[in-house]
A and B are shown apart, each in its own frame.
Chain A
Amino acid sequence: MTSIDTPDRRLDGNALAGPLLELFTIDLSAAMATCVHCDGTAPLGEQQLYADAPALVLRCRDCTGVLLRYSADSHSTGIATVRADLSGLRLLVAHVPAAGASR
């Protein structure tokens, strides 16, 4: 599919880093994400984020397939419901401090 370029409608994936910290303990911007649709691999922060939707939708920069969807809805009880669909990620590789490693 070709598309009309509407860069005002998308962000780069770095804008997803903050919201994902509600669920993950590390910043995933530099994590390498492999697309389940085309096998394209790039840092999560360099993928394409569509934020004007009922949920945040991250798409592959190569094939525009959906990599992940994420939403957090706050309730009056002070609890938020987080939904994460990671089915478009075939692989996510991140480098984190090793357990027990000396610094």
Chain B
Amino acid sequence: MSTTTRGFSGRRRQRTDGRLPPGQYDVGDAFPVLSAGPTPRVDLGTWDLTVQGQVDHVARWTWEDFTALPHEDITVDLHCVTAWSKFDTRWRGVSLDTLLEGISPGGSFVSAFCDGGYTTNLPLADLTGGRAWAVDGYGGAPLEPVHGGPVRLLVPHLYLWKSAKWLRGIAVTEHDEPGFWERFGYHGYGDPWREQRYAGG
């Protein structure tokens, strides 16, 4: 996969088919890498993924467990808050419906938490109904660390900062608890079609 670093160079393409949210441009074949910190070095021998917090029981998957879960192929458009969009990206991963199956949540929100300390908050309802995945493959290959591998969250109907890289778990919360960028003033929900970039704006 091609990556773009600082400057996100390239012609700023527009689309006329109604798939480009307001204020966005089509980045084409590039896949910009945004990094707010070091890329974690992950030991798959000790890695796990959990659903925890306000739940009746904690669910935990080792790497071996996770890779044995039913996977599906997903083709979706991505919209980053920094204004680029990327179309028809191909991922492979586990539906959050599968990970949340059998869990009795005691709250309506979640905090996704990650290696490196990143967090982001979402309504629990946005992770269900076939709209969110924990993905470990991209473009027919294992997900690269710079793009969030071994596993990242994928919630394509929201701005990409909600699709947390280096995912380690989902904590169900009673209240909506702002995450890393939300505490900096980014929108609590982040709908690209309503340009919800900043809270209150």
User: B-contacting residues of A (Cβ < 8 Å)?
Assistant: 1-6, 8-10, 50-55, 57, 59, 64, 66, 69, 71, 83, 85
User: A-contacting residues of B (Cβ < 8 Å)?
Assistant: 5-6, 32-41, 81-82, 115-117, 145-146, 161, 181, 183-186
Main secondary structure, interface of B, reads loop
What are 21 A-B contacts defined by CB distance under 8 Å? A1-B41, A1-B117, A2-B41, A3-B41, A4-B38, A4-B40, A4-B41, A5-B38, A6-B146, A9-B38, A9-B39, A50-B37, A52-B34, A52-B35, A54-B186, A57-B37, A64-B38, A66-B37, A69-B184, A83-B184, A85-B184
Cβ A3 vs Cβ B39 within 8 A? yes
Chain B contacts for A83, CB-based, 8 A:
184-185
CB distance from B154 to the nearest CB of A (A): 18
Complex Cα gap A85–B37 (Å): 16
Complex Cα gap A5–B145 (Å): 11
Given contacts A3-B40, A54-B186, A85-B183, contact A9 B33 (CB under 8 A): yes
- From A4, A9, A54, contact of B82 by CB (8 A): A54
Chain A contacts for B6, CB-based, 8 A:
51-52
Cβ A4 vs Cβ B184 within 8 A? no
Complex Cα gap A45–B195 (Å): 35
Chain A contacts for B36, CB-based, 8 A:
50, 53-55, 57
Given contacts A53-B34, A54-B81, A54-B186, contact A6 B39 (CB under 8 A): yes
Smallest Cβ-Cβ distance to B41: which chain A residue:
A2
Given pairs A5-B38, A9-B146, 9 additional interface contacts (CB within 8 A): A8-B5, A9-B39, A50-B35, A54-B82, A54-B186, A55-B184, A57-B36, A57-B37, A83-B184
CB distance from B151 to the nearest CB of A (A): 16
Cβ B5 vs Cβ A9 within 8 A? yes
Cβ A1 vs Cβ B145 within 8 A? no
Cβ B38 vs Cβ A3 within 8 A? yes
- From A6, A52, A53, A71, contact of B38 by CB (8 A): A6
Cβ A52 vs Cβ B81 within 8 A? no
CB distance from B116 to the nearest CB of A (A): 6
CB distance from B1 to the nearest CB of A (A): 16
